[in-house]
Amino acid sequence: MPVRMHPGALVSDDRPPTRGKRFLKLAGMTASVAGSYAKTRIKTALLSKDKAEAEREKYNRNAGDRIAKTLGELKGAVMKVGQMASIAADVLPKELADALGTLQKEAPPMAYEVIAEQIEKEFGAAPETLFKRFEREPFASASIGQVHRAQVDDGREVVVKVQYPGVDDAVDSDLAHLKVALRASGLLKINKASLDASMTEIRARLHEELDYCLEADNVRAFAELHADDETVVVPQVVGERSSQRVLTLEFEPGDHLDELDAKGYTQDERDTCGRALFTLMARQIFEFGAIHGDPNPGNLAFRRDGRVVLYDYGCVKRLQRPIVQAYRDTILAGLAEEYDRVEEGLLALGVRNPDGPKPEFAYYKQWRDIFAEPFLQNEVFDYSKAKLHDEVVKMVPGAIKRMASFQAAPQLIFVDRMVAGHYGNMCKLGARVPVLSILRPFLDDFSAEALRHAAEVETGAS
């Protein structure tokens, strides 16, 4: 996620850590949290229930801070995974999720010299030669690269995303070490098989995200998919200034979520933007079968006329058609409170562990009543008053007791990330959206033909 920089923001003079240094940092983090975990287990065995719970919360908080600090220092793939994990309240303790949430904001950029050297490696020329103007101060910073404003020779204003050196070489080793650390910390609430499957899915998307040529293709594909929708703005690729590790796009301005209050967005303007954003999600899942999988606030901007500007197309997930069908069927079954069909849908999605005990339908109803709330409003759902996230947190203890019944579903990782992420964006936007009336046509009209766009853009479903 790019974090827009402010004047005077601290810039790191250090180059990205080498693979050896990354190994040592991750190994040190693993040893620290594993040792603390072992001590906490011994200590809590001798304490009362309340004191033991307080001690576990203290451990979770300290371990979360240590993990978040290390991932933030390393940047790269592990920081990206930390950003993703911060929304996983049903998998991680709140203390760890809160600590990882700081990674959304803390992304100090690299020094200009590092960026200029990377550009010269890609094109054989310095930024000042390649561009009519290239701003030395970063416009935005993220986990695997940073963005600079520039101007090309024909006068077009552009943004140039430059990948940090060495990030692509460290993905596999970083993820392997992070997996070991999370298992050793005792903080994860999923079994080894689910963790392995989830990491495999995440690794595949990260390798794609590090290929800026592929991202350029994604930008072009989404521009075509949304070509008939005036409410969605997709930047244009400047191909002659793009490569494997440098991506140049025409600059598309917009107001970011944290600017809307200061710029005096009216409720009607917020509502119009919210409808556009919700429709965008529905189309990508049910019509295109291809989703923009990085919903962080820095990848969105809004315009007063209701248009949504969508940035950063590194993380794109092409959905298998049976998964979209099962997703649609499960939603309809939940709305109708047909819990035998909910069970079938969750099995088809891979959420239900077929070897685990079958949950009671009353438990399904608890989850259904939380997630169905936006659909049960007669006209509009007011995201400024939404409390779904608080209700989900209350369900975590029950979910832990039923861990054997469920499992991580790799095919849904990025769908869930998009839906949960944009739920948070809608809350910040404060939009009032007629959720059901927008979504219902996509559910009712869904068919194999409705996914024809997916077949056109699909380069191999994964």
Range in 71-85, 236-250, 272-286, 390-404 with the lowest mean pLDDT: 71-85
User: 383-423, pLDDT tens digit by residue?
Assistant: 999 998 889 878 878 887 888 899 889 899 899 999 999 99
Whether residues 101 and 186 share a domain: the answer is yes
Tokens of 153: 């020779």
Tally of domains within the chain:
2
Whether residues 287 and 379 share a domain: the answer is yes
User: 223-243, pLDDT tens digit by residue?
Assistant: 999 999 999 999 999 999 999
Mean pLDDT (whole number) for 269-278: 98
Whether residues 268 and 384 share a domain: the answer is yes
- For residue 201, the model assigns a pLDDT of 85
Provide CB contacts within 8 A for 337, sequence distance 6+: 365, 368
Range in 218-222, 237-241, 252-256, 405-409 with the lowest mean pLDDT: 405-409
Whether residues 298 and 179 share a domain: the answer is no
Tell me whether residue 244 is in a domain: no
- For residue 392, the model assigns a pLDDT of 87
| % of residues, the chain, pLDDT over 90 | 52
Q: Is the distance from CB of 182 to CB of 202 less than 8 angstroms?
A: no
- Sorting pLDDT into bands at 50, 70 and 90, what band is 86? low
CA distances from 92 to 37, 99, 193, 217, 425 (A): 15, 11, 17, 34, 21
Tell me whether residue 133 is in a domain: no
Tell me whether residue 112 is in a domain: no
Whether residues 273 and 182 share a domain: the answer is no
Tell me whether residue 111 is in a domain: no
Tell me whether residue 143 is in a domain: no
387 vs 82 pLDDT, higher one? 387
Whether residues 300 and 176 share a domain: the answer is no
Whether residues 285 and 360 share a domain: the answer is yes
Number of other CB atoms surrounding residue 266 within 10 Å: 10
Whether residues 17 and 100 share a domain: the answer is yes
Mean pLDDT of the chain: 86
Whether residues 275 and 360 share a domain: the answer is yes
- Sorting pLDDT into bands at 50, 70 and 90, what band is 461? very low
Q: What is the rounded distance in angstroms from the CA atom of residue 328 to the CA atom of residue 366? A: 19
The parent domain of residue 40 ranges over 3-106+169-190
Q: What is the rounded distance in angstroms from the CA atom of residue 252 to the CA atom of residue 311? A: 9
Tell me whether residue 353 is in a domain: yes
Whether residues 269 and 393 share a domain: the answer is yes
Whether residues 270 and 405 share a domain: the answer is yes
Tell me whether residue 389 is in a domain: yes
Tell me whether residue 125 is in a domain: no
Q: What is the rounded distance in angstroms from the CA atom of residue 216 to the CA atom of residue 220? A: 6
- For residue 286, the model assigns a pLDDT of 95
Whether residues 420 and 288 share a domain: the answer is yes
